A and B are shown apart, each in its own frame.
Chain A
């Protein structure tokens, strides 16, 4: 149980294009989903907190117009990197916190490696 999927796992795009990453909780409903960015050999940096049916809360320094987050249902959140640039290349990971059971726990997706050329 508590499986989170992400799609795509890898994406390569040209500079200036937009990329959408999907995060799904497969066997549970998620009140809250989180989006992280991770650079090589570094920790997870929280970008934003996404609650179903409401606007995402962005961390300081994260451009909300650049990283659009939509949490349309209790099982799906999407992150769209708009007008991507090479500096946006990174490993993006989502996590989901279940509605039922322990609300403390976060379950992570497998991550999406974005490369912007």
Chain B
């Protein structure tokens, strides 16, 4: 089955700096890669996603890149703000197994004012 690894597990950045979170996956059939942000005790919120026919996608301060050959994808947050502090999860899906998501282990991001 699919195995998704996520690094780093914790990340602290100064406000205004960039943050990068990386994920790797094992199943070459995976074709959909969402990123979720989860604040303490709250639901995961979809912040950006990318499909395997695209190499990069950007939405304001958030961008995701995908390298299918290397089987890794990354989340980039620029001009970080304190409200970006949360746990971020990457996931991979191939759409063939009931659309199951395989989640990474999460990255706790702290943006220091």
Q: How large is the interface on A (under 10, 10 to 19, 20 to 34, 35 or more residues)?
A: 20 to 34
Q: Whole-angstrom distance between the alpha carbons of A60 and B32 in the complex?
A: 23
Instruction: Show the binding face of A for B, using Cβ within 8 Å.
Output: 4, 32, 34, 41-44, 46, 49, 51, 57, 93, 95, 97, 103-111, 113
Interface of chain A: mostly helix, strand, loop or mixed: strand
Minimal Cβ-Cβ distance residue in A for B1: A60
Q: Which residues of A contact B104 (CB under 8 A)?
A: 43
Q: Which residues of A contact B101 (CB under 8 A)?
A: 34, 46, 95, 106
Encode contact with A along B78-108: 1 for CB under 8 Å, 0 otherwise.
0000000000010001010011111111101
Instruction: Show the binding face of B for A, using Cβ within 8 Å.
Output: 32, 34, 36, 41-46, 49, 51, 89, 93, 95, 98-106, 108
> Is A103 a contact of B89 with CB atoms below 8 Å?
no
> Is B43 a contact of A109 with CB atoms below 8 Å?
yes
Q: Which residues of B contact A51 (CB under 8 A)?
A: 98
Partner of B99, one of A103, A109, A110: A103
Q: Which residues of B contact A108 (CB under 8 A)?
A: 36, 43-45
